[in-house]
Amino acid sequence: MRSSRIEVSGVLVSTDHYIDGQRVSSSETFELLSPIDQQVLGNISEGLDEHVEAAIRSANSAFPSWSSMSAADRKVYLDRFADEIGKRSDEFCRVESTDAGLLLSRMRHGVVPRAMLNIRWFAEHALDLQNRPIETEQAHHRVRHDPAGVVVIITPWNSPLLLSTWKLGPALAAGNTCIVKPPEWAPLTCSLLADAADAAGLPQGVLNIVQGTGGKTGAKLVSDPRIARVSFTGSVPTAKWIAQAAGANLVPCSLELGGKSPFIVLEDADLDGAAATGALMYRNAGQVCLAGTRFLVHERVAEAFVARMREHVKQLAIGDPRDESTEVGPIIHPRQIERVEGFVQRAVAAGAELLWGGSRHPFGAQYFQPTMLTNVKQGDEIVQNEVFGPVLTLQTFADDSEAIELANGTDYGLGGVCYGETAHATDVAERVRTGFIWVNSFGIRDLNAPFGGIKRSGIGREGGDWSFEFFCDVKDVVVPKKPFRASFSHR
């Protein structure tokens, strides 16, 4: 079929699927808007049943040879894949900035280097994955990590390149074949990933990209009994749906979901440091799952902290994400900014007080002012539910136990931040129930470390060995050290 390409910020991007090493267009498309100015970027091929079927067949056919290749041989391909991402760095930056509204500067210095590392690091670490020995008196246990099969990867719009490669790296390195369903509000960098994979010579069918909306294409993919794993990042309602659909076939899912993470400022905190980090919570216009969005500040330092943070927030450069000096960009879609606005209006109507922000920003229709609400109660919607926009709340506490109670008082349990004297802050951090928490810092992530949430923030861990545990079938091959004599009394 004809390949269609659109020009986005000077880069030609295919709007077609990538199935079995070929570009495939669809008779149905969906319209893609830029969050910056709501310009139509193009019409994207929608994944129909026939495309899902073709991708699953292709990934299944590619599996025997890709999975039986040595990890070292796969690493050769995957290093080339990372190289090809690197060669297209500027294209990835420009396209994701226009398509998803991510800051160009962050794409250049953070996301693209990390995307390359996601592929390289897991390819390297897969080399010693097989045959981890356990020696006992009785036997040699050769614990194998065998690739599971066809992996479906579903990602959200708030960081499509980073999140797709975070899952693709370990899944491919371990010997699985993959089908990625990119987010419909920002699918274009996944399309560029297909170009990079193609140029790297990845065997056909090893990586397939099927675009489409969640309820149609995504739902069809995750319900198919021929798939072996679903790795999903997104919202809680979608995760519940996916878990049921995949669960019907007993297909394991890794679910990385939303958050309502606490940002705790203890009485002995460095208030300037905490306030500067606090302003970072507006990065990506607050569309960051791991942001600390509930500020819990000791009552004796609350006023001083608010004054300092207000100064940092005033200085934030709000504007076009393609401008290297911008610090806060747009909200992805008209539906999302309406949602954000609705949260703020309902909170104010319920008695919350605005410390700053509260409405749309004059820069453009898709921009919302960095906002902080106080005079909120623990049971309020604004405290309990994820806004996924530049909207934070502030509550005060009198002592550590109250801080911890407030921190733990939502259904979410993704991350957290705790500022205070290091030993004190570490002690408090250890008592907060989340998947991870940063002490006197924010956003430090290492590929060796586990990542994921508890409670409604997710099921499972990815990162380091945890990724391999998920994407592999673990098998214990037991070889006795002495000749084995069969006996009914033998345990």
Residue 431, classed as helix, strand or coil, is helix
CB atoms within 10 A of CB 444: 9
218 binds ligand NAD (CB under 6 A): yes
Please identify which residue in 184, 195, 224, 341 interacts with ligand NAD, judged by CB under 6 A: 184
403-442 positions binding ligand NAD, by CB under 6 A: 414
Nearest to 341 by CA among 298, 293, 391, 380: 391
Residue closer to ligand NAD (CB basis): 86 or 110: 110
Residue 384 CB coordination number (10 Å): 16
Interior angle at CA 8, CA 12 and CA 177, nearest 5: 60
Q: Does 154 bind ligand NAD (CB under 6 A)?
A: yes
Q: CB 425 → ligand NAD: shortest distance, Å?
A: 23
Q: Which value, in Å, is the radius of gyration of the alpha carbons in the chain?
A: 24
Residue 57 CA from chain centroid, whole number: 27
238 binds ligand NAD (CB under 6 A): yes
Q: Select from 94-102, 132-140, 203-211, 257-265 the region that touches ligand NAD (CB under 6 A).
A: 257-265
Kindly give, in sequence order, each residue whose CB lies less than 8 Å from that of residue 485, ignoring residues fewer than 6 positions away: none
16 versus 256: smaller Cβ distance to ligand NAD: 256
Q: How far is the CB of 185 from ligand NAD (least distance, A)?
A: 7
| All residues at 6 or more sequence positions from 304 whose CB lies less than 8 Å from its CB, including other chains | 271
235 binds ligand NAD (CB under 6 A): yes
Indicate which single residue of 258, 389, 390, 463 sits in contact with ligand NAD (rule: CB under 6 A).
258
Q: With CB under 6 A as the contact rule, which of the stretches 48-56, 127-135, 141-149, 152-160 interacts with ligand NAD?
A: 152-160
* 234 near ligand NAD, rule: CB under 6 A: yes
Question: CA-CA distances (angstroms) from residue 382 to 42, 352, 391, 403?
Answer: 35, 9, 9, 18
The encoded tokens of residue 267 equal 């009485």
Using CB under 6 A as the binding rule, whether residue 466 contacts ligand NAD is answered as no
Task: Tell me how far CA of residue 193 lies from CA of 125, 233, 445, in angstroms.
Answer: 22, 18, 23
Q: Which residues are catalytic?
A: 256, 289
Cβ of residue 163: shortest distance to ligand NAD, in angstroms? 6
Of 236 and 276, which CB lies nearer to ligand NAD in the complex structure?
Answer: 236
**Which 273-302 residues touch ligand NAD, going by CB under 6 A?**
289
Minimum distance from residue 164 beta carbon to ligand NAD (Å): 10
**What is the enclosing helix (H) or strand (E) of 219?**
helix 219-222
Note whether 259 binds ligand NAD by CB under 6 A: yes
CA separation for the pair 381, 248 (Å, rounded): 33
**Contacting ligand NAD (CB under 6 A), which of 388, 438, 466, 468?**
388
Rounded Cα gap, residues 282 and 329, in angstroms: 9
Q: Kindly list the residues in this chain that would bind ligand NAD in the complex (CB under 6 A).
A: 154-158, 181, 183-184, 213-215, 218-219, 222, 233-235, 238, 241-242, 256-259, 289, 386, 388, 414, 453, 458
